[in-house]
Amino acid sequence: MGLIVMDLEWNQSSTGREPEVAKLPFEIIEIGAIKLNSEYEMVGEFSELIKPIVYPRLYHITSKIIHIQMEDLARGGRFTDVSKEFLEWCGEDPIICTWGPSDIAELQRNLRFFDCPLLNDGPVKYIDVQKLFALAFDKDKNNRISLEHAVDAIGIEKDIPFHRAFSDAYYTAKVLAKIATGHPEVLKFVSFDVTFPPKTKDDEIFVDFGTYSKRITRVFKDRETALRDRDVMSIVCTECGKPIKKKIGWFSPNGKQYYAAGICDVHGLIKNRVRIQKYDDESVCAIKIVKPIENDGLMKLQEKSARAEELRKKRKEAERKAKEFRSSKKR
Ligand SMILES: [Zn+2]
Burial letters for 119-130: b for 16+ Cβ neighbours within 10 Å, e otherwise? beebbbbbbbbb
The pLDDT confidence band at residue 1, using thresholds 50, 70 and 90, is low
Ligand 1 center to 160 CA (angstroms): 51
| Residue ranges covered by each domain of the chain | 3-186, 200-314
pLDDT computed for residue 163 by the predictor: 73
pLDDT computed for residue 70 by the predictor: 80
pLDDT computed for residue 162 by the predictor: 76
pLDDT computed for residue 65 by the predictor: 67
- For residue 331, pLDDT over 80 is answered with no
CATH topology of domain 3-186: Nucleotidyltransferase; domain 5 (3.30.420)
Identify the DSSP state of 220.
Answer: B
Ligand 1 center to 187 CA (angstroms): 26
The mean pLDDT value for 21-40 works out to 94
- For residue 64, pLDDT over 80 is answered with no
- For residue 283, pLDDT over 90 is answered with yes
Identify the DSSP state of 280.
Answer: T
Please write the tens of the pLDDT for every residue from 230-255.
Answer: 989 999 998 888 899 999 999 999 88
Among the listed residues 101, 90, 87, the one whose alpha carbon sits nearest the alpha carbon of residue 192: 101
- The radius of gyration of the chain from alpha carbons, rounded to an integer in Å, stands at 23
Ligand 1 center to 135 CA (angstroms): 26
Would you call 3 helix, strand, or coil by DSSP?
A: strand
Ion ligand 1: residues, Cβ under 5 Å: 237, 239-240, 264, 266-267
The pLDDT confidence band at residue 62, using thresholds 50, 70 and 90, is low
Ligand 1 center to 235 CA (angstroms): 11
Please write the tens of the pLDDT for every residue from 161-208.
Answer: 877 899 999 999 999 999 999 999 999 999 999 999 999 999 999 999
pLDDT computed for residue 2 by the predictor: 86
pLDDT computed for residue 66 by the predictor: 67
Ligand 1 center to 271 CA (angstroms): 12
**What is the SS3 string spanning 224-260?**
HHHHHCHHHHCCECCCCCCECEEEEEEECCCCCEEEE
Ligand 1 center to 210 CA (angstroms): 13
Ligand 1 center to 191 CA (angstroms): 25
Percent of the chain predicted with pLDDT > 70: 97
Ligand 1 center to 184 CA (angstroms): 28
**Quick one: angle between helices 165-182 and 129-137, nearest 10?**
40
CA distance 213 to 190: 12
Long-range contacts of 73-78 (CB under 8 A, 24+ apart): 73/29, 73/49, 75/49, 75/51, 76/29, 76/30, 76/48, 76/49, 76/50, 76/51, 77/48, 77/49, 77/50, 77/51, 78/50, 78/51, 78/53
Ligand 1 center to 301 CA (angstroms): 20
The mean pLDDT value for 95-120 works out to 96
Ligand 1 center to 270 CA (angstroms): 9
